[in-house]
Amino acid sequence: MDKLTVSVVISIALGLVTLLSADGVQTQLIEIENASITERSGLIQEFKYELKNMGEEQRIKAMHKIQEEMPELAQDIKNDNVEAKINEIKNAEPAERVKLMNRFKLELAQMKAEEQAEAITLMQKQMSAGQEPKKEQSKEQVRIQNKIQNEQMNQMQKTNAMEQMNQQQGAQQSHPDMTNFGNQPVPEGFGQH
C-alpha cells in the first residue's frame, strides 16, 4: 500500500475509535443538534453508518447515550434497524429466513413492550407491502372467476328455460286438454285430431 492509502485507513480508524467513546458520541450528537436542517440529515446519515460499523457493545452504549440526549433520533435509528432486518428476512432464502426470524424474535423479546409493538407493526406493514401485487392478482383472479360463474349461471338458466319450454310443448302435444290451467273454457274440437 502507498503512504496515502495507509494514512487514509489510519484516519478512518482513528475517527471510529474517537466515535466509540462516549465523548465521541456526545460530540456528534451536539453537532447534529446544532447543525442546520440541510446539514443535519447528512450528519445523521453518517452517524447511522458509523453506528452500523461499531461493535455490538459499543453500539449499545452509544444507543443509550442517544436515547438520553436525542430520543427522536434513537427511535429513528431503531426503526431503520428494524426495517433493515425485515428487508433482510423478506429477501432471504427460506432456510436463512427461519434463522433470521428467530434472531429477530430474540431481539424483540429484549425490547420494551412499546418498542415491541412498534417493531411488530412495522414488520406487518413491510411484509404486507411486498404482497400487494399478489393481493391485486388475487382480486383479478376472483373477478374473472366470478365472471365465469355468472356466465355459467346465465347459460344454465337459459338451458333450464329451454328445457321447460320443450317440456311444455311436449305436454301440449301429448295431452292438449291438460295444458289449460286457467278458468278458460276449452273450445269444442280443440286438441282433437
Q: pLDDT tens string for the chain (193 positions)?
A: 565 554 545 555 545 444 445 568 888 888 888 988 888 888 888 888 888 888 888 888 888 888 888 888 888 888 788 888 888 888 889 889 889 888 888 887 877 888 788 888 887 887 776 555 555 567 888 888 888 877 877 787 788 788 888 888 887 777 655 555 555 666 666 656 5
Q: Where along the chain do its domains lie?
A: 1-69, 70-133
Please state, in angstroms and rounded to a whole number, the distance separating the CA atoms of residues 136 and 3: 58
Please state, in angstroms and rounded to a whole number, the distance separating the CA atoms of residues 91 and 131: 13
Angle of helix 94-110 relative to helix 113-129, nearest 10 degrees? 150
Nearest to 124 by CA among 165, 176, 184, 82: 82
Q: What percent of the chain has pLDDT over 90?
A: 0
Place of cell 450528537: 29
Place of cell 302435444: 173
Helices and strands of the chain, counted as H and E runs: 8, 0
Cα 109 off chain centre by: 22
Cα 66 off chain centre by: 30
